[in-house]
Amino acid sequence: MARGRTLGVLTFLSTAYSGRHYGTAELAAAEDLARRAALTADNARLYRDAQRAVRLRDEFLSVASHELKTPLTPLSLKLQVLVREVQARCEAPLAQRLLGHLDACRHQVKRLSELVHGLLDVTHLSEGQLYLEREEVDLVVLVREVVARLQSQAERTGSPLMLEAEGPVVGQWDRLRLEQVVSHLLSNAVKYGAGHPVSIRVQATGARAHLVVKDQGIGMEPQMLARIFEKFERGVSERHYGGLGLGLYVTRQTLHAMGGTVSVESAPGKGATFTVELPLRQSPAAS
């Protein structure tokens, strides 16, 4: 029996010809064996149910993310059309107010799109379908482009991005996925930077590229450092910071697919330092 449920029966037989008889000691051993068998069977059932639940969850996320992605592209295009119409047809005071509302709408659509793409990446990773399109990429140039795109947002939060680069640092990587990794690390640093500057360093050492992103923000408890790279995990309370807890999981899996790694050092109130390492050349095994 396990948790009040009868899972099966163990039967022990002896015959008159065997000359064997079961006594108190054998009964105790049989009961102990039954308990162990019940525990094993119950654990196997729980594991099977958990695996089924995970599979159903992943299937739901895959369907939901594709369905959510479908209306986002036309919605974004319609907002662009509205912006042009307002600029061309409306008087200055009205145009300014409407453009402010439209800019807020575009920001929210962009945020929703990023969340949906995160879900899609997770489903692709779960299904082993993360495809890479390798090309020659200068990591310094790529990081400069991401910094330029995020700088105004960073300055508004009081966490300007300070880039130190020894370049060029050129490798064979997937440009779009590497840009996604850099964007997520820098956005996180700004988000949790608590109004302090964020430093970024790019350099090559031997046959590997290094990207170090360091903020001076809220930091994390030591026990969280190993968990934050798992699915749906986060280093801070979800009540105070948004997101699905997928960004760092996707980051680690993407870098792993390119032969790289990501690590973190942090302490409460002392910020966090994320270090990315990537091979400059594709290994024969990954080709």
pLDDT tens across 105-131, in order? 988 887 787 777 777 676 666 666 677
For residue 239, the model assigns a pLDDT of: 47
Return mean pLDDT, the chain. 84
User: Residues with Cβ < 8 Å from 276, sequence gap 6 or more?
Assistant: 181, 185, 209, 210, 211, 212, 213, 255, 260, 261, 262
CB 243 within 8 A of CB 223: no
CB 98 within 8 A of CB 84: no
pLDDT tens across 191-229, in order? 888 889 999 999 999 899 999 999 999 888 888 887 888
For residue 215, the model assigns a pLDDT of: 94
Please give the domain boundaries of the chain with CATH numbers for all domains.
1-129 (1.10.287.130), 134-286 (3.30.565.10)
For residue 83, pLDDT over 50 is answered with yes
Pairwise CA distance, residues 100 & 202, whole Å: 36
Window from 71-85, 139-153, 203-217, 255-269 with minimum mean pLDDT: 71-85
Structure tokens at 32: 């102990």
Q: Quick one: pLDDT band at residue 60, thresholds 50, 70, 90?
A: confident
Nearest to 228, CA basis, from 211, 213, 212, 250: 250
For residue 125, the model assigns a pLDDT of: 66
End-to-end CA distance of the chain: give it in Å, rounded.
Answer: 53
For residue 232, the model assigns a pLDDT of: 65
Window from 49-53, 59-63, 178-182, 277-281 with minimum mean pLDDT: 59-63
For residue 12, the model assigns a pLDDT of: 83
Q: What is the CA radius of gyration of the chain?
A: 27
Pairwise CA distance, residues 89 & 174, whole Å: 42
Torsion of CA 139, 142, 144, 149, to 10 degrees: -150
CB 280 within 8 A of CB 225: no
User: What average pLDDT does the segment 15-43 reach?
Assistant: 89
For residue 234, the model assigns a pLDDT of: 61
